[in-house]
Amino acid sequence: MALFDLPLDELRKYRSESTVPGDFDAFWDKTLRETRAHDLDARFEPVDTGLSTVRVHDVTFAGFGGHPVKGWLRLPAGAAEPLPLVVEFIGYGGGRGLPHENLLWASTGRAHFVMDTRGQGSVWGAGAGTPDPVGSAPGYPGFMTRGIDAPENHYYRRVFTDAVRAIEAARAHPLTDASRTVAIGSSQGGGITLAVGGLVPDLAAVAPDVPFLCDFPRATTLTDRPPYREIGLFLKTHHGRTADVLRTLSYFDGVHFAARGRAPALFSAGGEDQTCPPSTVFAAYNAWAHEDKTIELYDFNDHEGGGPFHEAVKLRWLRSYA
């Protein structure tokens, strides 16, 4: 697919038409307050992996509604003092995988926490361990329309709350340095990273790659690829509900979390990305509130973005923050 979205000069000026709900902050304050009424109960169980340079802990903590959420904490072997902490969120359909996977960040001498995404982990990768015990009104198969009837019921209310609690759980370990906490993720993980960036005020930095869950009004009409297409297929059946659906989704739009971002940020986008079109990524980037921000555009790449080339960029960039 050739370049299909706005030219670069327009991308750098583009602003989303998504309207922030008047009670956006109150909604999230209430959600987090209710969740924090449950004991975090973060538990770290050592795992025998056979690795010699990295130690892995199987983590369980209380997320939204007090529901148990899983994760992995990876630490460089021999670590004795609190380390910079990288908290990573996973792409759509994936899970935390196996304990010996994903060793890059621990190999840099940092603590690395990966949060399982509730109810996912059965599309790609090596599986997951976190169910989503909450039911849903009628929705299109997938996650985008689960609870689409009201923001209080929507699936991503639970996921974003889990993500905030994941930061808190990872920081609870004695070998992590809360003051040097970075959130990262790609695609859905990038969208979760944006949410965390808007909800956790004291992160050292964030790095959302080709983030999903941004600029719903444009994304749902510009691309027919899943997962955004799930929304259009739902509305194909449920005529006349577009305004209500977009209102619900506005509580989970990365653009509105970006406007509350208080940490340095490194974004990335793919110029030929039809899953998360570059204009939707730039909508969040242009809204990001912290002045220390940059974006890497990989002109001829689809949803893979910069891949290992961008990993190298992140490795260099993070030296300044954690």
Q: 104: which DSSP letter?
A: H
Q: Which of 57, 173, 256, 303 is catalytic?
A: 303
Q: Which of 116, 273, 279, 310 is catalytic?
A: 273
Q: What is the pLDDT of residues 286-312, one digit of tens each?
A: 999 999 999 999 999 999 999 999 999
Known catalytic residue at 273: yes
Q: If DSSP codes are grouped into helix, strand and coil, which group holds residue 125?
A: coil
Report all structural domains of the chain as residue ranges with CATH numbers, in order of start: 8-318 (3.40.50.1820)
Residue 2: band (very low, low, confident or very high) from pLDDT cuts 50, 70, 90: low
Give the per-residue pLDDT at 123. Answer: 84
Q: Which of 187, 250, 268, 279 is catalytic?
A: 187
- Least confident range of 108-112, 118-122, 317-321: 118-122
Give the per-residue pLDDT at 124. Answer: 64
pLDDT of residue 207 exceeding 90, the answer is: yes
User: Structure pTM?
Assistant: 0.97
Known catalytic residue at 303: yes
Known catalytic residue at 57: no
Cα separation, 57 vs 99, in Å, equals 8
Give the per-residue pLDDT at 22. Answer: 97
Q: What is the pLDDT of residues 146-157, one digit of tens each?
A: 999 999 999 999
The dihedrals phi and psi of 16, each to the nearest 5 degrees, come to: -70, 150
* Residues ≥6 apart with Cβ < 8 Å to 211: 185, 186, 187, 190, 191, 193, 194, 254, 267, 276, 281, 284
pLDDT of residue 55 exceeding 70, the answer is: yes
Q: 185: which DSSP letter?
A: E
Alpha-helical runs (H) found in the chain: 8-11, 24-36, 104-107, 155-171, 188-199, 216-222, 228-237, 242-250, 254-258, 278-287, 307-318
Q: What is the pLDDT of residues 248-283, one digit of tens each?
A: 999 999 999 999 999 999 999 999 999 999 999 999
- Least confident range of 3-17, 156-170, 243-257, 273-287: 3-17
Mean pLDDT score across all residues of the chain: 96
Give the per-residue pLDDT at 127. Answer: 76
Q: What is the pLDDT of residues 113-148, one digit of tens each?
A: 999 999 998 886 777 789 889 988 888 789 999 999
Type of residue at 147: G
What are the Cα distances from residue 104, in Å, to 56, 109, 110, 175, 184? Answer: 13, 9, 9, 18, 13
